[in-house]
C-alpha cells in the first residue's frame, strides 16, 4: 500500500516544463496566418470593378423581385439614373452606420451591393437599366435578416428618398412595389 500512495503523490506533483520544450500550441500565436492554417482562400477583388467574385448564377429580369413601372414618370420622380445613384449611395451609407443593421453590412462586397441595388432600383423604376444580380432569396441567404432589420432598411431608404426630394406619392408607389420581396428576404 505505501508504494501506491507514493506513486499517487508523485503523479499529483505539478510539473514545470522547460520553456524551450513548450509546444507551439501553448506559445505565441501572433505570427500565425489562421486563414492559411485552415485552408481559407482569400477572395481578391477584381482590379477593374472592385467587386469580389461570386458563384455563377442564372441572370434575368425576374431576379429583380418586381417588374418595372410603365412609363417614365417614376424614373423622373427619382431624378433619373443620377438621382437613383445618389439615393442608393445614401441608403448604403445610412445602413452601414445604422447600429440596428450595420452588422449585416460588415465584410460584404459593398461595391457589388451598390451596383446591384442601383440596377435593381433603376430597372424597377423603368429608368433604362438591366438588373444583373442574383434573385432575392439567393442574394440574402444566410444573412439572418429579421423583420426588424428590414424595417430599419426601409426607414433608411425613406430618409434617402426624402433627402433626394422624391415626392411622397412616388416614394409610396416604389415601397409598395418592393414590399412583396420581404417574403424572399426575411429569414427569421
Q: Each residue of 113-122: pLDDT tens digit?
A: 999 999 999 9
Q: Note the pLDDT of residue 158.
A: 98
Lowest mean pLDDT among 49-53, 89-93, 175-179: 49-53
Q: Note the pLDDT of residue 83.
A: 98
Q: What is the pLDDT of residues 80-109, one digit of tens each?
A: 999 999 999 999 999 999 999 999 988 788
Beta strands in 27-185, from DSSP E residues, in sequence order: none
Q: How many CB atoms lie within 10 A of CB 123?
A: 24
User: Do the annotations mark residue 140 as ligand-binding?
Assistant: yes
Nearest to 150 by CA among 104, 186, 181: 186
Q: How far is CA 139 from CA 61, 63, 184, in A?
A: 14, 10, 9
Whether the Cβ atoms of residue 152 and residue 100 lie closer than 8 Å to each other: yes
pLDDT at 31 over 90: no
Q: Quote the radius of gyration of the chain (alpha carbons, Å).
A: 27
Instruction: Provide the CATH topology of domain 61-185.
Output: Globin-like (1.10.490)
Higher pLDDT, residue 77 or 187: 77
Q: How many CB atoms lie within 10 A of CB 50?
A: 13
Whole-prediction pTM = 0.75
Q: How many CB atoms lie within 10 A of CB 135?
A: 17
Nearest to 65 by CA among 140, 135, 150, 170: 135
Q: Note the pLDDT of residue 2.
A: 57
- Provide the residue ranges of all domains of the chain, joining segments of one domain with +: 61-185
Amino acid at each position: 500500500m505505501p508504494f501506491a500512495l507514493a506513486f499517487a503523490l508523485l503523479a499529483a506533483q505539478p510539473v514545470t516544463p522547460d520553456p524551450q520544450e513548450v509546444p507551439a500550441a501553448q506559445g505565441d500565436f501572433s505570427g500565425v496566418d489562421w486563414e492559411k492554417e485552415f485552408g481559407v482562400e482569400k477572395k481578391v477583388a477584381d482590379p477593374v470593378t472592385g467587386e469580389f467574385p461570386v458563384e455563377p448564377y442564372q441572370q434575368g429580369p425576374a431576379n429583380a423581385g418586381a417588374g418595372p413601372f410603365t412609363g417614365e414618370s417614376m424614373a423622373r420622380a427619382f431624378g433619373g439614373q443620377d438621382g437613383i445613384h445618389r439615393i442608393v449611395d445614401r441608403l448604403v451609407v445610412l445602413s452601414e452606420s445604422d447600429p440596428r443593421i450595420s452588422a449585416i453590412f460588415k465584410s460584404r462586397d459593398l461595391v457589388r451591393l451598390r451596383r446591384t441595388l442601383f440596377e435593381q432600383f433603376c430597372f424597377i423604376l423603368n429608368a433604362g437599366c438591366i438588373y444583373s444580380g442574383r434573385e432575392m432569396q439567393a442574394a440574402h441567404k444566410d444573412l439572418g435578416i429579421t423583420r426588424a432589420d428590414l424595417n430599419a432598411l426601409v426607414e433608411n431608404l425613406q430618409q434617402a428618398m426624402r433627402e433626394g426630394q422624391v415626392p411622397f406619392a412616388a416614394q409610396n408607389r416604389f415601397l409598395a412595389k418592393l414590399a412583396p420581396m420581404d417574403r424572399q428576404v426575411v429569414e427569421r
